[in-house]
């Protein structure tokens, strides 16, 4: 297939693009390259790869790239509530108007797969399924929920991802597991707030595999929403901190009671719908942390600042 990946140089995109190339697809990365292009250096020699610097808000430019594609994997977004709150108008224009451009420009025979988020749920009692009424509390969650509606209106597939973690060639440290691991290594202390809040997690490589899975099963998945993760990775923030402490025994855990998460992400999620189709995660939190332990000790605090999406 000819596959367009918006945001293809980002944390998830730079992990997904090599997988698509390995499957034999012709891949066009469409990205603002705000974080640079180095995340794609490892696949630059692949003749099936094109890289286009562009913004999904630029309707004419993105239209030219969409026109000859078989599938669009839409990852480009302003991600996380801190980044969205720092520039709300820009976030809304990107996450909603940019998504609307893609949905309106795609033809009926083109596949559209959208990266959504568990932040759409907000604060929910009980187990979240794809039929649970969304209750996003942050601008980020609300913008991604709006994006879902746009994508569903044109028969696209929405993948509601768990909180990602793990190593990527475009690293992020503002993700919970990554951030806590880095601080455990460098500060020997994990400052944890809302430790009893339940989250669900997914390694970035497993998340990328979910998009490959959706592309290969699009006939059965089109027009639907799927939670992407695994019940085994439903756990509290304190559970995660204790796993990290087990692997880094000389770090301490300090619970903070004066901070809170604007997304109020406190929920347990069911992944039965996509698991019954055959999708499974492969990488545990412990394995992801062990990967980070190979690299993070050599990453300075100053250098790390470039890896926070704020």
pLDDT score at 308: 78
CA 290 to CA 62: how far, in whole Å?
39
pLDDT score at 126: 84
For residues 39 and 97, membership in a common domain is answered with: yes
For residues 45 and 172, membership in a common domain is answered with: no
CB 90 within 8 A of CB 84: no
CA 176 to CA 291: how far, in whole Å?
15
pLDDT score at 264: 64
For residues 100 and 65, membership in a common domain is answered with: yes
For residues 138 and 10, membership in a common domain is answered with: yes
CA 190 to CA 83: how far, in whole Å?
22
Q: Is residue 247 packed enough to be buried (19+ CB in 10 Å), middle (13-18) or exposed (0-12)?
A: middle
Q: Is 271 helix (H, G, I), strand (E, B) or coil?
A: coil
pLDDT score at 122: 81
Q: What is the pTM of this model?
A: 0.95
Token pair 């009926």: residue: 108
For residues 156 and 184, membership in a common domain is answered with: no
Q: CATH code at 249?
A: 3.90.25.10
Structural domains counted in the chain: 2
CA 149 to CA 156: how far, in whole Å?
10
Within 10 angstroms of residue 284's Cβ, the number of other Cβ atoms is: 15
CB 74 within 8 A of CB 127: no
What tens-digit pLDDT sequence spans the chain (310 residues)? 999 999 999 999 999 999 999 999 999 999 999 999 999 999 999 999 999 999 999 999 999 999 999 999 999 999 988 899 999 999 999 999 999 999 999 999 999 999 999 989 987 888 999 999 998 989 999 999 999 999 999 999 999 999 999 999 999 999 999 999 999 999 899 999 888 888 899 999 999 999 999 999 999 999 999 999 999 999 999 999 999 999 999 999 998 877 676 656 778 899 999 999 999 999 999 999 999 999 999 987 777 777 877 6
**Alpha-carbon torsion (121, 73, 24, 214), positive or negative:** positive
For residues 21 and 76, membership in a common domain is answered with: yes
For residues 299 and 248, membership in a common domain is answered with: yes
Residue 163 CA neighbour count, 13 Å, CB half: 28
Q: CATH code at 21?
A: 3.40.50.720
CA 257 to CA 62: how far, in whole Å?
45
Q: Is residue 14 packed enough to be buried (19+ CB in 10 Å), middle (13-18) or exposed (0-12)?
A: buried
CB 18 within 8 A of CB 43: yes
Q: Is 278 a member of any domain?
A: no
Q: Is 274 a member of any domain?
A: no
For residues 247 and 294, membership in a common domain is answered with: yes
pLDDT score at 128: 93
* Residue 275, C-beta contacts closer than 8 angstroms, at least 6 positions apart: 230
Residue 26 CA neighbour count, 13 Å, CB half: 7
Q: Is 273 a member of any domain?
A: no
Query: Distance of CA 277 to CAs 111, 220, 294, Å?
Result: 18, 9, 34
For residues 184 and 110, membership in a common domain is answered with: no
CA 134 to CA 269: how far, in whole Å?
13
For residues 23 and 46, membership in a common domain is answered with: yes
Give the residue numbers spanning the domain of 218.
2-164+202-228
Q: Is 241 helix (H, G, I), strand (E, B) or coil?
A: helix
CA 166 to CA 184: how far, in whole Å?
15
Residue 150 CA neighbour count, 13 Å, CB half: 23
Quick one: how far is CA 166 from the chain centroid? 11
CA 39 to CA 203: how far, in whole Å?
18
For residues 91 and 237, membership in a common domain is answered with: no
For residues 44 and 132, membership in a common domain is answered with: yes
CB 192 within 8 A of CB 253: yes
């Amino acid at each position: 297939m000819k596959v367009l990946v918006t945001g293809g140089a980002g944390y998830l995109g730079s992990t997904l693009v090599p997988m698509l190339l390995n499957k034999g697809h012709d891949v066009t990365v469409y990205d603002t390259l705000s974080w640079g292009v180095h995340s794609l250096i490892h696949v630059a020699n692949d003749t099936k790869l094109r890289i286009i610097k562009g913004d999904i808000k630029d309707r004419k430019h993105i239209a030219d790239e969409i026109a000859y594609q078989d599938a669009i994997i839409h990852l480009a977004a302003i991600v996380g509530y801190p980044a969205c709150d720092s520039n709300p108008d820009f976030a809304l224009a990107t996450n909603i108007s940019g998504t609307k451009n893609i949905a309106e420009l795609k033809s009926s025979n083109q596949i559209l797969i959208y990266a959504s988020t568990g932040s759409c749920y907000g604060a929910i009692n009980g187990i979240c399924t794809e039929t649970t009424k969304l209750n996003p509390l942050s601008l980020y969650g609300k913008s991604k929920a709006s994006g879902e509606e746009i994508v569903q209106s044109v028969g696209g597939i929405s993948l509601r991802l768990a909180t990602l973690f793990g190593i990527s060639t475009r690293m992020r440290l503002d993700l919970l597991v990554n951030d806590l691991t880095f601080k455990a290594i460098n500060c020997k202390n994990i400052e944890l707030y809302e430790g009893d809040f339940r989250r669900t997690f997914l390694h970035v490589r497993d998340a990328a595999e979910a998009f490959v899975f959706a592309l290969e099963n699009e006939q059965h998945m089109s027009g639907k929403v799927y939670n992407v993760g695994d019940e085994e990775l439903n756990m509290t923030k304190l559970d995660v901190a204790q796993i990290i402490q087990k692997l880094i025994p000389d770090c301490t855990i300090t619970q903070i009671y004066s901070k809170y998460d604007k997304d109020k992400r406190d929920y347990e999620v069911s992944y039965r719908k996509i698991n019954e189709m055959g999708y499974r995660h492969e990488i545990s939190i412990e394995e992801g942390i062990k990967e980070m332990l190979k690299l993070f000790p050599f990453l300075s605090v100053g250098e790390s600042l470039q890896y926070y999406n704020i």
